Amino acid sequence: MTAESESTHGKGESMQKTALIAGGAKGIGREVGLRLGERSWAVALCYRKSRAEAEATALAIEERGGRALAVHADVSTPEVCAALVRKVLDWQGRIDALIHCAGPYHRVDVLEETPTGWREMFANNLDSFFYLARLVAPVMVKQESGRIVAFSMANADRLMAQTQLTAHYLAKVGVLGLVRSLAKALAKHEITVNAVSPGFIDSGSVDPAELHGLVKAIPAGRIGSLADAVNAVLYFLSDEASYVTGTSLHVSGGWGI
């Protein structure tokens, strides 16, 4: 795939804060974009398949007072990531935040996993984060400021056996390691790098009946909401979190700890 602009909305100034959200058409990424739109940010969101949802999200961001750019991009490939970042810079001239929400998963027994399935989980969850982070980092260094937020899992730091989610889980373990490495390398440039590590969030990607059946395993006694996850992202983007870097914030109601 190639990266190409699908829509541009709004008439914001070039110096307004700009966020690049990978996987911003639906779910948590979409809600982050909407909340940033309310704060008058410019939001570039990319998608692989969800063009209609991306277009709707871009329009909703504009309606909330922000500026929006929807880009078709498969961020599992480095060339497309490079084209995506160039497009955002051509559009706004800066990138203040990278929020990496891209992260498909599949359930398959580890002994039945295929090389293709394995590669897809790492390419979309971990590789894409590395490709985008290495591209936005020089931009943020030049700006002498920036925020990078990625998504892991609430139990990834425990290195548990996950026989049905092995590739996805190990990719999320890798995200935590990469977050810490990037945080240490970029701290002197006033750039923070952190992870949000959710448990079960009602993001619309899992059947409600299945989620309901999981409640008994959650100490808080409820499924997490989109707002729970989004508020964690907004904290990492805030001035209050300027000295917080290299960390993983569990948003799980006690599950996975």
In a domain, 256, yes or no: no
- Domain residues for the domain of 225 are 4-251
Residue-level pLDDT at 105: 85
Residue showing tokens 């001239």: 93
Residue 170 domain flag = yes
Structural domain includes residue 232:
yes
Mean per-residue pLDDT for 104-123? 95
How far lies 6's CA from each of 47, 93, 176, 251, in Å?
Answer: 10, 19, 32, 33
Q: What CA–CA distance (Å, rounded) separates 121 from 107?
A: 11
User: Is residue 100 a part of any domain in this protein?
Assistant: yes
Mean pLDDT of 174-180: 98
pLDDT at 1: 36
Query: Would residue 257 count as lying in a domain?
Result: no
For residue 105, tell me if it sits in a domain: yes
pLDDT digits (tens, 9 = 90+) for 141-152: 999 999 999 999
Q: And the tokens for 141?
A: 């260094």
Instruction: Establish if 16 belongs to a structural domain.
Output: yes
Q: What CATH number has the domain bearing residue 232?
A: 3.40.50.720
pLDDT at position 211, please? 77
pLDDT digits (tens, 9 = 90+) for 188-220: 999 999 999 999 999 876 777 777 788 999 999
Catalytic choice (47, 105, 131, 169): 169
Question: In the annotation, is 105 catalytic?
Answer: no
Amino acid letter, residue 187: A
Residue 183 clears pLDDT 50, i.e. is over it = yes
Nearest to 152 by CA among 134, 192, 127, 125: 125
Pairing of strands 42-47, 248-251: unpaired
**Residue 49, number of CB atoms within 10 A of its CB:** 10
Q: Does residue 218 sit within a domain?
A: yes
Looking at residue 210, its pLDDT comes to 76
How far is C-alpha 49 from the geometric centre of its chain's CA atoms? 16
Region 238-243: what's the mean pLDDT? Answer: 98
Query: Which pLDDT belongs to residue 2?
Result: 37
Structure tokens at 218: 């959650």
Strand partners, 9: 68
The mean predicted confidence, pLDDT, of the chain is 93
- Indicate the pLDDT class of residue 102, thresholds 50, 70 and 90: confident
pLDDT tens-digit readout, 56-68: 999 999 999 999 9
Domain tally for the chain? 1
Mean of pLDDT values over 82-87: 98
Q: Which residue from 31, 256, 247, 228 is spatially nearest to 153, judged by alpha carbons?
A: 256
* Residue among 208, 82, 70 nearest 134 (CA): 82
Please report, rounded to a whole number, the percentage of residues in the chain having pLDDT higher than 70.
93
Determine the pLDDT at residue 214.
Answer: 87
pLDDT above 90 for 139: yes
101 vs 61: CA distance, rounded Å: 17
The pLDDT of residue 13? 43
